Structure formats: structure tokens, C-alpha cells
Amino acid sequence: MISALLIKFLWVFAIVVLIAGAIRIVHFLRGHAMRALAAGLGFEYIGPGAPPNWLRNPSHLHIEAPLPPWISQLHPCGQRIRQVWNVIEGNRNGASVLIFDCVIGEYRGGHPCTVIMCQTEQDPFKMVAPRDRVLSAHGWSVLHGSWFLWFSWTMGIKRLKAHLNELRAVQRA
């Protein structure tokens, strides 16, 4: 009887370890792809990498440069940003650009999300799919998405490149 219970426990433990390992591999591959994207665009990968403990999202966002301090007040889709990683910084068509992955949500857990911020009052994004959202805050245009089945997901590298290639030139005053 005890051995059967122990075997069931070991199976559950093995499944949890496999899921955790798969998520770490996905985060590692995403970080590698974001570094390659930054290098290909002539941007700088600032980091940090994916959070080491993906199950625990902090209750308060820790802001570091180059992210502006008001980012903690940004609420993509009405939900606050709880964690940020894979930060990329650069310049495109005359405007500062920040790209990062984050977790949004008010409570434990949350949704992954990719954010593209362009320092301009004008909306520089030419074509935005219905699943993406654009908002303006503190002199920045902020594109975030992708929404599918009521959940937010990170944007794929191809979509990030497409959005960056379609940015309109910024008019300087």
C-alpha cells in the first residue's frame, strides 16, 4: 500500500519537474531569440533574463534603467505589470524604442505579454492587428498584445520585427 502511494507521488513529482523544465527551456530559447533580435536590429539587450522562479511573481515591480519609472503605473489591458525581463533598447526612425517581455495581472500568476514602447506622442504603428492594443502614456506610444482565448501571450520574433519595420518616421518639432 505504501509503495503504491509512493509511486503515485513520484509520478506527480516527475510531471511537475518535467513541466518546470520545459518552461525553463522555453524561457531560455526566448531570451536567446530576443538577444539575436537586438543584435540584428543594432539594439542593445539590457536583460535581465527570464525570472528564475516563474511560479512566484513579485507583488511590487522593481524598475531599473532604461525603463522609465512610470512603467509601474502602465496598465496594459487594465492589468498592472508585475515583472519585466528581456529588455531591449534602441533607436528606430528617430525615436527611442524599448521592447520587453513582462507578466501582467493583479494576483498570483498573471499573463505573459510583450510590450513595444516608442517615445513619441504620435502613433507610429502603421498596422495593428485586432489582437494588439496601442495606448499613449507620458509621451510614449505603447503597443502590447497578443490576446488569444482571453489570455495574453508574448509576441513572436517575426511579429516584433514586422512591427519595428513598419514604424512610421517620427516628426521632430
* Residue 96 located in a structural domain: yes
CA atoms within 13 A on the CB side of 7: 4
* Residue 28 located in a structural domain: yes
* Average pLDDT of the segment spanning 79-105: 86
* Residue 173 located in a structural domain: no
* Residue 171 located in a structural domain: no
Domain count, the chain: 1
- What pLDDT digit, counting tens, does each position of 38-61 carry? 999 999 999 887 776 555 556 667
User: Higher-confidence residue: 132 or 85?
Assistant: 85
* Residue 172 located in a structural domain: no
Residues 71, 26: Cα–Cα separation, whole Å: 26
Range of the domain at 66: 2-165
* Residue 39 located in a structural domain: yes
In this prediction, residue 12 carries a pLDDT of 92
Residues 28, 96: Cα–Cα separation, whole Å: 26
* Residue 120 located in a structural domain: yes
What is each CA distance from 52 to 28, 115, 155, in whole angstroms? 11, 21, 21
